[in-house]
């Protein structure tokens, strides 16, 4: 098959994808068979599988194409991203590292893969290098600050929050990171105010963040505010043991025995009571009604 014929077949297959994808795949397989030394049909077939999130099949096509074009850095990136999408971060990094001159997106993806693998220090190093090149991308700041919090470097996290504010201005996710950083530094009032500002722009979507928010409220003398925050967390994640412990403890302290028993009853639906919850239950039973 000549070059022009192959190009026409690929265009025809692309146009058929939405109308008759089975026939389109047949055409692409035909093109692969008739052009064993040309990677284009394999890439087109891989792209089709990738759009359908059939990453295993896509990767096989891309790898076959890469054997025909071993210097193609874009193929290495696509394979790396496909492994990333499958959650195979080790292999994703293997392909990212084969790219000779990785641009910022490649390095960011590698840093993110490292973060998912709990290799936080390596991720931090890459993000710091990226900031020397690009200092106005919010996502670089976000990932860097999150990793700094993971390793307990709250001072550096706060430094980069200030730097991000100067470069990118106000951003909702930056408010959340600020709240979490202040809380780690036990600056409860500033943390609470940052959470309040964040929630004015939308809901908190992770129960662990709501637990921190509630702790801030309690620490600044607003335990009554902490109760509904913890209840909101349980609506998001009824399996979060820590939320039950904090909520029941707070309800007992505030004298809401009936509500505390109700929460304990809910907890029993999801798991066996922890030693902490058993102690709180015993305390409630000793108090009676």
pLDDT digits (tens, 9 = 90+) for 78-126: 999 999 999 999 999 999 999 999 999 999 999 999 999 999 999 999 9
Using a cut of 0.75, tell me whether the model's pTM lies above it: yes
Average pLDDT over residues 43-47: 88
pLDDT, the chain, mean:
92
More confident residue, 128 or 29: 128
Residue 16 has pLDDT above 70, yes or no: no
Question: Residue 135's CB: how many other CB atoms inside 10 A?
Answer: 14
Q: Give the confidence band of 288 by pLDDT, cuts at 50, 70, 90.
A: low
Q: Which residues contact 239 (CB under 8 A, 6 or more apart)?
A: 270, 271
Residue 226 has pLDDT above 90, yes or no: yes
Give the pLDDT score at 207: 95
Give the pLDDT score at 286: 86
Residue-range domain boundaries for the chain? 222-289
Got the DSSP string for the chain? --HHHHHHHHHHHHHHTTT-HHHHHHHHHHHHHH-TT-SHHHHHHHHHHHHTT-HHHHHHHHHHHHHH-TT-HHHHHHHHHHHHHTT-HHHHHHHHTT-SS--HHHHHHHHHHHHHTT-HHHHHHHHHHHHHH--S-HHHHHHHHHHHHHTT-HHHHHHHHHHHHHHH---HHHHHHHHHHHHHTT-HHHHHHHHHHHHHTS----HHHHHHHHHHHHHTT-HHHHHHHHHHHHHH-TT-HHHHHHHHHHHHHTT-HHHHHHHHHHHHHHSPPPHHHHHHHHHHHHH--
Average pLDDT over residues 73-80: 96
Residue 4 has pLDDT above 90, yes or no: no
Q: Give the confidence band of 21 by pLDDT, cuts at 50, 70, 90.
A: low
Average pLDDT over residues 160-180: 94
Give the pLDDT score at 96: 98
Give the pLDDT score at 19: 67
Average pLDDT over residues 267-281: 95
Average pLDDT over residues 218-242: 96
């Amino acid at each position: 098959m000549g070059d022009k014929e192959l190009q026409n077949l690929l265009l025809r297959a692309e146009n058929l994808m939405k109308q008759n994808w089975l026939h389109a795949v047949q055409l692409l397989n035909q093109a692969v068979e008739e052009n064993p030394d040309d990677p284009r049909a394999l890439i087109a077939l891989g792209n089709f599988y990738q759009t359908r999130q059939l990453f295993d099949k896509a990767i096989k096509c891309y790898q076959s194409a890469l054997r025909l074009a071993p210097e193609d850095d874009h193929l290495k990136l696509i394979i790396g991203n496909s492994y990333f999408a499958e959650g195979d971060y080790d292999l994703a990094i293997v392909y990212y590292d084969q790219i000779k001159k990785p641009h910022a997106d490649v390095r960011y993806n590698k840093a993110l893969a490292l973060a998912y693998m709990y290799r936080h220090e390596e991720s931090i190093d890459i993000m710091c290098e990226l900031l020397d090149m690009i200092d106005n991308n919010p996502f670089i700041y976000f990932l860097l600050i999150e990793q700094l919090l993971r390793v307990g470097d709250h001072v550096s996290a706060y430094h980069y929050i200030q730097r991000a504010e100067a470069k990118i201005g106000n951003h909702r996710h930056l408010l959340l990171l600020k709240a979490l950083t202040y809380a780690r530094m036990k600056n409860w009032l500033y943390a609470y105010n940052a959470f309040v500002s964040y929630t004015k722009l939308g809901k908190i979507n992770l129960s662990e963040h709501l637990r921190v928010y509630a702790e801030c409220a309690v620490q600044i003398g607003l335990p009554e505010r902490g109760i509904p925050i913890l209840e909101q967390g349980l609506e998001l994640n009824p399996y979060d043991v820590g939320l039950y412990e904090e909520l029941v403890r707070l309800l007992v302290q505030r004298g809401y025995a009936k509500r505390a028993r109700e929460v304990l009853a809910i907890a029993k639906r999801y798991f066996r009571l922890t030693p902490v919850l058993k102690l709180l239950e015993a305390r409630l039973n000793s108090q009676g009604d």
